[in-house]
């Protein structure tokens, strides 16, 4: 994929596949992936891979690989020594033959050349194997790697570290990253090919334009239906979904108004709020109902509703039509009693 910039001012980097356009003349792009979210996830995986505890495990594994490598080197050494011995033996046989035995000499000379070619071929194979297996890590290398792991997160996030520096670190540790956003709706599959030869596969939740493409579309609808059936209001449903780690199609937290729109879209009816005359003086959390507040303050319920409208007192409702829950401290109660008493006296004087 190639990097391009979208937006009115080119502020959004996007990875774009242009293979079909370049090779088949197809108009448009095969697929596109927003770069910022993906880059952030790759950076997180990089720092996670370089965490000290993981490096300890990796270095321990490398030591085991080095032990196996040493055994293979020993086998190669024996093969090389054997090939050189056979070539030297063929040379001695050729040197030992009498000059007049030309037929025998030619045969031994051919054998000698064959053994020399075989020894040379083994040397070439050994050199190629060595180039592919550079696994030597000294104790000093080990300490340097672990020290880097301790400091890398701070270095990575430092204001003095430029984007070019971060890219250079990425290139040192990561060979290539392969992307595909068509495997599952609302997700990006990507594979990291590390410089060590390791390969890791990952999934990233991406922003989508409609809930039909949401990565957790069915789970989301099922949870909203279940919470609605449990008599939860839209704001409560939104809080529950956010607490479970679910996000909107755009990657943001849910809100009550959005839950309302989703219910309408999926045909989920609103819960029926049943008014009740059995309202307690105080609720379990210590807040007052309207009748309880009126009794406590020595005023009418109408006065309480008026004070709620003008915000002289603070109250909450789970939903419109549900009973009020009014929080009153001892200081607030004393102050409101004085205020109500003065209001009554003032009214009498006017009359």
Would you say residue 179 lies in a domain? no
Classify strands 187-194 and 32-34 as parallel, antiparallel or unpaired.
unpaired
Domain limit, last residue, from 97, 132, 167: 132
- Give yes or no for a contact between 318 and 285, defined as CB atoms under 8 angstroms apart: no
- 34 pairs with which residues across the strands? 14
- 4 pairs with which residues across the strands? 14
Would you say residue 320 lies in a domain? yes
CA-to-CA distance for 54 and 145, rounded, in angstroms? 12
CA-to-CA distance for 42 and 24, rounded, in angstroms? 31
Would you say residue 89 lies in a domain? yes
Which residue blocks in 12-97 are alpha helix, DSSP H?
Answer: 19-24, 35-49, 52-96
User: Would you state the pLDDT for residue 137?
Assistant: 59
In tens digits, the chain (351 residues) has pLDDT values of 677 777 666 667 777 877 655 666 555 567 777 777 888 888 888 888 776 665 665 566 566 666 777 888 899 899 999 999 999 998 898 888 887 777 888 888 888 899 999 999 999 998 888 877 665 556 666 666 666 666 777 778 888 888 888 888 788 778 888 888 888 888 889 999 887 678 899 998 888 878 888 888 899 999 999 998 887 888 889 999 999 998 898 888 999 889 999 999 999 988 765 544 567 889 888 999 999 999 999 999 999 999 999 999 999 887 666 788 999 999 999 999 999 888 887 766 554
Full domain range(s) for residue 329: 290-350
Q: How far is CA 308 from CA 299, 305, 311, in A?
A: 13, 5, 5
Domain limit, last residue, from 231, 266, 301: 266
CA-to-CA distance for 41 and 35, rounded, in angstroms? 10
User: Would you state the pLDDT for residue 28?
Assistant: 58
User: Would you state the pLDDT for residue 168?
Assistant: 80
Would you say residue 211 lies in a domain? no
Q: Among candidates 205, 201, 271, which has minimal Cα distance to 234?
A: 271
User: Would you state the pLDDT for residue 276?
Assistant: 47
User: Would you state the pLDDT for residue 206?
Assistant: 82
User: Would you state the pLDDT for residue 1?
Assistant: 67
The string of DSSP codes covering 231-296 is T--HHHHHHHHHHTT---TTS----HHHHHHHHHHHT-PPPPP---S---SB-TTSPBPHHHHHHH
Handedness of CA 25, 28, 30, 35 (dihedral sign): positive
Could you tell me if 247 and 297 lie in one domain?
A: no
Would you say residue 14 lies in a domain? no
Would you say residue 127 lies in a domain? yes
Domain count, the chain: 3
Would you say residue 5 lies in a domain? no
User: Would you state the pLDDT for residue 321?
Assistant: 66
Could you tell me if 75 and 127 lie in one domain?
A: yes
What is the per-residue pLDDT across 136-188, written as a single tens digit (0 to 9) for each? 556 666 666 666 666 777 778 888 888 888 888 788 778 888 888 888 888 88
Identify the three-state secondary structure at position 12: strand
């Amino acid at each position: 994929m190639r990097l391009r910039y979208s937006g009115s001012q080119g502020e959004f980097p996007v990875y774009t596949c242009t293979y079909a356009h370049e090779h088949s003349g197809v108009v448009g792009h095969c697929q596109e992936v927003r770069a910022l979210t993906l880059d952030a996830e790759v950076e997180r995986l990089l720092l996670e891979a370089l965490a000290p505890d993981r490096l300890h495990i990796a270095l321990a594994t490398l030591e085991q690989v080095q032990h196996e490598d040493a055994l293979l080197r020993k086998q190669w050494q024996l093969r090389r020594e054997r090939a050189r011995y056979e070539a030297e033996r063929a040379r001695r046989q050729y040197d030992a033959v009498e000059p007049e035995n030309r037929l025998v000499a030619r045969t031994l000379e051919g054998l000698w050349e064959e053994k020399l070619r075989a020894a040379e071929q083994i040397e070439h194979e050994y050199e190629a194997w060595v180039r592919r297996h550079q696994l030597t890590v000294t104790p000093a290398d080990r300490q340097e790697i672990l020290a880097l792991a301790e400091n890398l997160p701070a270095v990575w996030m430092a204001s003095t570290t430029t984007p070019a520096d971060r890219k250079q670190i990425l290139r040192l540790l990561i060979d290539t990253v392969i992307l595909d956003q068509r495997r599952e709706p609302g997700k990006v599959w990507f594979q990291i090919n590390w410089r060590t030869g390791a390969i890791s596969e990952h999934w990233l939740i991406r922003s989508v334009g409609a809930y039909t493409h949401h990565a957790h579309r069915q789970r989301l609808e099922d949870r909203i239906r279940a919470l609605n059936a449990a008599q939860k209001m839209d704001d409560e449903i939104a809080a529950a979904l956010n607490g479970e780690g679910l996000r909107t199609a755009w990657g943001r937290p849910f809100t009550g108004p959005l839950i309302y729109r989703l219910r309408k879209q999926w045909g989920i009816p609103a819960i029926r709020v049943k008014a009740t005359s059995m309202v307690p003086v105080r609720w379990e959390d210590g807040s007052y109902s309207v009748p309880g507040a009126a009794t406590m303050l020595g005023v009418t319920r109408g006065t309480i509703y008026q004070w709620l409208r003008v915000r002289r007192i603070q109250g909450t409702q789970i939903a419109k039509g549900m009973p009020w829950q009014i929080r009153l401290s001892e200081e607030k109660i004393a102050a409101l009693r004085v205020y109500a008493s003065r209001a009554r006296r003032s009214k009498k004087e006017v009359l």
